[in-house]
Amino acid sequence: MFGDAIAAAFAAACRVAGRAVSYQRGTVSVEFTACPGSSPFEAANLAEVAIHANARNYYIAASAIADFGEPEAGDSISDGAEVYRVTEMDGLPPWTWADTEHLVFRVHTKRHE
């Protein structure tokens, strides 16, 4: 029951703030709506925002990338004209669960230049 509430809340957030993205690993890609979030590194390092300005988190329903399994460093997310690479940051893994029911990934990325 709690999982249903989380799924409904995430779906509502995506309707309001979601962006159409393409998730790619190698030559395989899938399109869906994800919610971009702020980077904890920007919030924690306000004096160094310019250094971390290219970092972004994406909240992605685990079901949207079920064929890939867990996000991996090196995967990419195309968001409009920008491409973000899934990456480990400051020794943290490239993703964490965003919820207790393991329905939504919080994926750490950096803009690929």
pTM, to two decimals: 0.81
Q: How confident is the model at residue 59 (pLDDT cuts 50, 70, 90)?
A: very high
Contact 89, 55 (CB under 8 A): yes
Average pLDDT on 4-15 reads 71
CATH code where residue 50 lies:
2.40.10
Q: Based on the structure, what is the number of domains in the chain?
A: 1
pLDDT of residue 85: 95
- pLDDT for 8 beyond 80: no
Statement: residue 96 has pLDDT above 70: yes
Structural domain of residue 40, as residue ranges? 2-111
pLDDT of residue 54: 79
- Residues with Cβ within 8 Å of 94's Cβ and at least 6 positions away in sequence, in order, are 71, 72, 73, 86, 87, 88, 107, 108
